[in-house]
Structure 1
Amino acid sequence: MIRAIKILFILGVIGALAAAGITYGIYLNVKDRIPTVAELKDTKLQIPLRIYTRDSKLIGEFGEQRRTPVSYDEIPANLENAILAAEDTNFYHHPGVDIMGLGRAAFQLVSSGEIQGGGSTITMQVARNYFLSFEQTFTRKFTEIFISLKMEQELTKHEILELYVNKIYLGKRAYGFEAAAQVYYGKSLQELDLAQLAMIAGLPKAPSRFNPIVNPSRALIRRNWILQRMLSLGMINKEDYQTAVEAPITAQNHGISPDVEASYVAEMVRAELYDKFGDDLYNDGLVVYTTINSERQLEANQAVYDGVLAYDERHGYRGTLETRPDLVSASTEEQTKALKAHSNIVDWTMALVLATTETDATVRLEDGSTVTLPWPAMSWARPYIDADRQGAAPKVVADVLVPGDVIQLRPDSQTNWRLAQTPAVQSALISLDSKDGAIESLVGGFNFFANKFNRVTQSKRQPGSNFKPFIYTSALNQGYTAASIINDAPVVFEDNNLAAAWRPTNDGGKFYGPTRLRQALFRSQNVVSVRLLDEMGIRPTLEFLKRFGFDPAELPHNLSLSLGSANLSPLQIAAGYTVFSNGGFRVQPYLIDRVEDSEGNILFQAEPITVCDPCTLLELDQLGDVQMGLFDTPQGFKTLPVAQRVIDADIAYIIYDMMRDVIRYGTGRRALVLKRDDIAGKTGTTNDGRDAWFSGFNGDIVTSVWTGFDDSSPLGRGEWGGSASLPTWISYMRDALADQEPAYIAKPSSLVTVRIDPKTGERALPGQKDAIFEVFRPANVPAQRVLNVPITTGTSATDLKQEEAKAETALENLF
């Protein structure tokens, strides 16, 4: 007996030594894969790039792993208990490994030759998720054990649980429980009830099998099992258990919803930063704050949406997507399945016409519900023939719809749903702060999710007459005045840069004869612009246009330049218009205000070129070639580069005053509805109506709108800048300028106002009844006339000021 005991003892010692040797051998084999203490404490989560507006509203997220890290203190107690009940009841008492679980794993190894899983504590799951792969092998399992033991020595239990809560995969691209709360319930962890917390606590075991969206029945069983475990462990009371176990499944696929739709903006930011950060951009948790104003972005979205749909309805209904009479008698399930097969626009719905009367239609929506579509919701639908023609206006529902038609509907405040069709036309809007170039709102097209092409930055289109203010400013710089006369009469140009002799005409074919530049601009007279450029010379004009940021190499070197034949983006046009808006200074558009890392450290802070109004200029010799200024901003005092003047203040005011007349009397008269005297702008329409523009501004903000087809098809009869793009501009600016005080471009004291003859542009005769007032720089004031004899002697500045005072008094008496 004693001998047997000795043999058993020796065998036990040998076995123990063998086990120790095997364990040590395994350790030597895997020790290089065990992280150091520093690596354990510096675990890095893969956090997606997030992009925000200036006022901290989310507009975009990029990264394969949706993750929002939380600290241990932010973990709800019920969630912690649910995790422990489901995954590792003994978490706070074991050293990182579960001996019984390891026993099961060893048995699996002996019986099958492979590790089948099981026995993993929360610590081991953290080790696997942070430092290892998911392969089921002997070596990986032992490495996991060694890492777990080391983690327990170096980290607290709370630190390990925090890593688990933030790292574990929970389905639907959600990594970590906060991301899962947002994805499945559209809420934060703190907002979830016990039943919802237990539901997501059941996901780590098998995110696909127990997914409440994909497999709700299995997910319910798993949830209730966890709740039962919590009850038996004393984590919850019977009443809480009963309430939670009876709760219905409320999970839905919420994704990560932005606070503000600005997908074109988000993509611009992503593309710009990718060049610097590469693929790390999607994992390092960078946070980007843009210059976007969330309220103005929402207003821009709505303005473009309404403008495009208004154009689309004006040109008629292109017909149903398909007609399926067989679906009318089919089951609701078959009907909705057929409807969902069609792609649609966000917030719109597909519908099947079930029956019609003279005044309404009964339709099945893709969610299975049935609604009545009233006549006003479809009365607009004249048949589309082409861009210039529509068929007769419908009189009854049967003129538009018949049973079996598959149609699109969009939300409508008056009729609930309105007959719709996906527009083919596109529009884009860009709005800038003219003092520093900050992009406050940007819409690159009607529907980013259907077409990601950004028409604000990527599309180069002809601006047409929208470009004329730059030509007229060049003329003012060369000594022309708003009263200068150009003969608007037929002319033929023989230009070596043109393919053939050119006979420019005005829209409508009408000629006005001798015309003042002010009139020519607000009437948008083409011949005057061409003759003016011909007089000034193309080369000096191209050189002058560089002041607005235009590259002469991108501009035509012929007289068509005067009619806006260059191919330019809306962003380039809007940037040029900021010079008019801020009184003559050039700024650079910018979108990214600052970039922060995951810890909140600032990696990049924009220093925009800013108009010094007001600021304290700093000494040049201390700061180099760029003039700097000290600005008082909402974030405190900042030193920023000062914008340089590119056109004189006198010229800036005169062109602004001329462009105000575009709205008072000219092609922009629709904007009078805003009842603001501080706004100015210019329409633009290219040949055959292929591009329609309106760019307008006051002393603070510039907004440019473009409308057209991507394939440059004509917009159709009656579609001009003033009808296709101006309404969108008005809609946006009405909201953007609401409650804003008028912002005028300041009138320099050097300018003088004198009475002129409206027909000749000369100084008015004493007592001339049809005389009007015009603004001039002193050097350009027309000579005084007495009867028909002009006085050629110079006029003193004192005399000019006295006459200006009389003119202003007369203006006050008029109004």
Structure 2
Amino acid sequence: MPEPTPSPSRPHPRWRFWVLLALAVGGFNALLAIGTWTWWTWDHLPAVRALEDWHPEQPLRIYAANGRLLQAMGPQIRFALPLAKIPQDLQQAFIAAENGQFYSHNPLYYPVSYPGILRAAFVDIVHMAPVQGASTIAEQVARNFYLSPKKTIARKVAEILLAYKLADHLTRAQILDLYLNKIYLGQGAYGVEAAARTYYGKDVGQLTLAQAATLAGLPAAPSYFNPVKNPQLARERRDYVLHRMFADHDITHHAMILAEAQPIRTRYHAPANNIAPYATEWIRKWLVKRFGASFTYRRGLRVYTTISPRDQRAADHSLAVGLENYAMGLDSLDPKTWRGPIAQLKGAALKTALAGGRPSVLPDRDPANLRWGVVVQSSPGEARVRLEGHRSVILNRADIAWVHLSPEGPQANAVNQILKPGDLIWLRHYVAATNAGSGNRIWGATAVWQRVHDAGWQLAVVPKVQGALVSLDAHTGAILALSGGFSYKLSHFDRALYAYRQPGSGFKPFVYAAAMDAPALKAAGVRHDLTPVSLIKDTPLTVPLPDGSDYRPTNYSNAFSRTPIPVWQDLADSH
């Protein structure tokens, strides 16, 4: 019987061993590398003890004499508050929106939420992009103070490690305090107090529950959930925050329903309504020159001035009206000419302006007390003007009477000769001299003008002539008002401080004194010297000039009395 043929022996699977060994070595090296890199990252993280005594950058603030904020200037608008002054509802709203387990003692949730990281990682893998974050409040504080917002693995690891450092050195109350005063909430507002003033014009202590929840919804995406630009999205985010607060037992179901029923009503509120821009700009320049820009804008300087808001408004109004009157020939005998409309609008630009859209040829804001309008229709007797796209006003012949086109004829100063449909023009409320009686449209030279209520509108122009006004307290020298020009919006140049003065009538006493200096004149051989009672003829005079032309001096009114006037009276009446 033949012997069976032995089957070939199967080779020992040694390659599997080597593969497993290589994987084990590679895994060990990878873990070693990751551990080394993590240790290096931890060792190079910044110290966080400084945050125990953190003083945020705050802008320069300038106040009026009555304590009113005139202007806040700086790279960040911030009003830091201690946590004790931030309402509990507002604190709970931010915790519910950003880190519901903030007060948890479970190491899986504080200071880092590992379930949140896994959930965000799953979403990012599904979308193949970093679309969802999972940062707790401690992590956000670490990122806002020390790291960049760039979404990378390295930054996330550093953020997690810093969160543990913060938790080791600071209490949760301290971390929440830092968060609520540091977080960016859109429109240049950093911190909850700045956001409350920016969106609602009130302090955090005055916010309703619905408003607090709206602000708490902003950190996720300040631009996207902006309640002014995107009220519907802001409402949805606010309602989500309210539901989270109810789920966390921070509010009752009834309070949640009432808050959800509130409409989103917000608008931007400037940090301050600066009624004295020339004065505050002068102060700003002085501070920067003396202390430097960084110290001036970031150290929270507070400057208290002697500016009186009431006096400043009166000064600005008086100066603007006086310059307008001069440009319109109402306070001056100098002939004035109509320079025409600001622009002639047509097509889409006209349609937009009639609907209220501000024409691009205008400054960002209306200067002084002027308002813009667009002529819709015009006839010989009147013109209909759309005032800033919101209302219609009628201008008749009396309202444009200062414009002189033709001295005579039945169509002299016909309205449609001056105003055409599509003309972009300036208008102002009627003003009248206080001694002319309320509602009277009589014009005349005067130093005091007041707006006449319900007296209609008048065609106006931006004056080319400029002026300045400074009001002082005669007893203390305090500056109560300072106006450096017709409108700070049109020109920032401060003529009250930096313009060269025209001599005006200031030279006249020197001329008269020289003319009456009898000893000096006699010594020079002049026999006809003057005395204070010497008479001078008030008649037309012609003086030949070396170039062959004649100089004919006149009075301001171009009138002569034909009666000799003594020198002292000439000087006294000169103006």
Q: What residue is the counterpart of 2:433 in the other structure?
A: none
Query: What SS is found at the alignment partner of 2:77?
Result: coil
Is the 8 Å Cα contact of residues 90 and 213 (structure 2) preserved in structure 1? yes
Does residue 372 (structure 1) correspond to residue 424 (structure 2)? The answer is: no
Q: Find the residue that maps to 2:291 and give its secondary structure.
A: helix
Residue pairs, 1:358-437, within 5 angstroms: 360-366=382-388, 368-375=389-396, 378-383=399-404, 397-411=415-429, 413-415=453-455, 417-437=457-477
What amino acid is aligned across from residue 45 of structure 2 in structure 1? R
Alignment RMSD (CA, Å) = 4.4
Aligned-partner SS, 1:427: coil
Q: Say if 1:379 and 1:394, in contact at 8 Å, map to a contact too.
A: no
Residues 163 and 469 of structure 1: CA distance in aligned 2, closer, same or farther (over 3 Å): farther
Once the two structures are superposed, what CA deviation does each residue of 1:544-599 show, in whole Å capped at 9, x if it has no partner?
xxxxxxxxxxxxxxxxxxxxxxxxxxxxxxxxxxxxxxxxxxxxxxxxxxxxxxxx
The correspondence for 2:198, drawn from 183, 188, 191, is 183
Q: Is the 8 A contact 2:383 2:416 kept in 1?
A: no
* d(CA) in 2 for partners of 1:40, 1:264: 38
8 Å contact from structure 1 (residues 316, 380) kept in 2: no
Counterpart in the other structure of 1:335: 354
Q: Which residue in 2 is equivalent to 1:149?
A: 164
Distance across 2 between alignment mates of 1:24 and 1:112: 31
Q: What residue is the counterpart of 2:519 in the other structure?
A: none
Give the Cα separation in 1 of the matches to 2:48 and 2:344: 67
After superposition, the Cα gap between the structure-2 partners of 1:470 and 1:215, relative to the gap in structure 1 and judged at 3 Å, is farther
The alignment status of 1:40 with 2:51, answered yes or no, reads: yes
C-alpha displacement of 1:306: 1.8
| Aligned pair partner of 1:352 in 374, 383, 386 | 374
Q: Is the 8 A contact 2:101 2:110 kept in 1?
A: no
Is the counterpart of residue 456 in structure 1 residue 496 in structure 2? yes
- Contact between 2:401 and 2:413, CA under 8 Å: does it hold in 1? no
Secondary structure of 2:259's partner? Answer: helix
1:485 to 532, 538, 542: 532
* Residue in 1 that maps onto 2:287: 273
User: What letter corresponds to residue 515 of structure 1 in structure 2?
Assistant: V
TM-score by length of 1: 0.53
3-state DSSP class of the match of 2:498?
Answer: coil
Deviation sequence 1:621-660 (CA, Å, 0-9, x none): xxxxxxxxxxxxxxxxxxxxxxxxxxxxxxxxxxxxxxxx
Q: 1:89 to 1:407 in 2, by over 3 A?
A: same
Where in structure 2 are the equivalents of 1:12-23 lying within 5 Å? 22-23=34-35
Aligned equivalent of 2:340, options 316, 319, 336: 319
* Residues 318 and 384, structure 1, Cα contact 8 Å, conserved in 2: no
Q: How does 1:138-217 map to 2 (within 5 A)?
A: 138-217=153-232
Distance, in Å, in 1 between the alignment partners of 2:196 and 2:408 is 51
Aligned to 1:55: 66
- C-alpha contact (below 8 Å) 2:41/2:158 kept by paired residues: no
Q: Which has the higher contact order (CA 8 A, sep 6+)?
A: 2
Q: Which letter maps to 1:278?
A: G
Q: CA deviation at 1:122?
A: 1.2
For the pair shown, which has the larger CA radius of gyration, 1 or 2? 2
Instruction: Give the equivalent residue in structure 2 for 1:523.
Output: 573
Distance change >3 Å, CA 239–CA 441, structure 1 → 2: same
Distance 1:504-1:257 versus aligned 2 partners, 3 A rule: same
Partner of 2:39: 27
- The unaligned stretches of length 5 or more in structure 2 are 1-22, 330-335, 431-452, 516-529, 542-546
* Preserved CA contact (<8 Å) 1:378 1:418: yes
Q: Aligned runs of 1:8-157 on 2, under 5 Å?
A: 22-23=34-35, 25-37=37-49, 39-93=50-104, 94-104=109-119, 118-157=133-172
State the partner residue of 2:240.
225
Tell me: CA distance 1:377–1:41, structure 2 relative to 1, closer, same or farther (3 Å): farther
Return the alpha-carbon distance in structure 2 between the equivalents of residues 377 and 162 of structure 1.
63
Residue type at the aligned position of 1:267: E
Task: Report the CA distance shift for 1:91/1:420 in structure 2 as closer, same or farther (over 3 A).
Answer: farther
Secondary structure of 2:184 counterpart = coil
Following the alignment from structure 2 to structure 1, what is the Cα–Cα distance between the partners of residues 412 and 470?
37
Q: Give the C-alpha shift of residue 182 in structure 1.
A: 1.8
Give distance in 1, aligned partners of 2:286 and 2:492: 16
Q: Map Cα deviations across residues 507-540 of structure 1 (whole Å, 9 max, x no partner).
A: 5698967634xx454223xxxxxxxxxxxxxxxx
How many correspondences in the alignment?
A: 495
Q: Distance in 2 between matches of 1:467 and 1:165?
A: 64
Structure 2: distance between partners of 1:357 and 1:245: 54
Structure 1 distance, partners of 2:211, 2:480, is: 39
SS of 2:495's equivalent in the other structure is coil
What is the rounded CA distance, in whole Å, between the counterparts of 1:472 and 1:41 in structure 2?
A: 74
Q: How does 1:729-744 map to 2 (within 5 A)?
A: none
Q: 109-118 vs 172-181, which deviates more?
A: 109-118
Q: 2:487 aligns with which of 447, 452, 460?
A: 447
Cα shift readout 1:786-810 (whole Å, capped 9, x = no counterpart): xxxxxxxxxxxxxxxxxxxxxxxxx
Structure 1: distance between partners of 2:163 and 2:514: 74
CA distance in 1: counterparts of 2:510 and 2:182, whole angstroms: 57
Counterpart of 1:136 in structure 2: which amino acid?
K
Change (3 A) 1:238 1:376: farther
Q: Within 1, Cα distance between the matches of 2:297 and 2:408?
A: 49
2: CA distance, partners of 1:392 / 1:52 = 57
Contact 1:382 1:390 in 2 (8 A): no
Question: Any conservation in 2 of the 1:297–1:442 contact (CA below 8 Å)?
Answer: yes
> How high is the sequence identity, in percent, across the aligned residues?
35
Contact 1:339/1:352 (<8 A) preserved: no
- The answer to whether the Cα contact below 8 Å between 1:117 and 1:136 also exists between their aligned partners in 2 is no
Instruction: Note the C-alpha offset of 1:460.
Output: 0.7
Asked if structure 2 preserves the Cα contact closer than 8 Å seen for 1:383 and 1:391, the reply is no
AA at the equivalent of 2:233: R
Shift of 1:87: 0.8
Distance of aligned partners of 1:176 and 1:379 in 2 relative to their CA distance in 1, 3 Å threshold: same
- Which deviates more, 390-399 or 243-252? 390-399
Amino acid at match of 1:427: G
CA distance in 2, matches of 1:212, 1:323: 37
Distance 1:118 1:438 in 2: 56
- Residue 141 of structure 2 aligns to a residue whose secondary structure is helix
| Cα distance in 2 between the residues matched to 1:52 and 1:469 | 42
Change (3 A) 1:249 1:515: same
Change (3 A) 1:161 1:383: farther
- Cα deviation for residue 325 of structure 1 reads 6.3
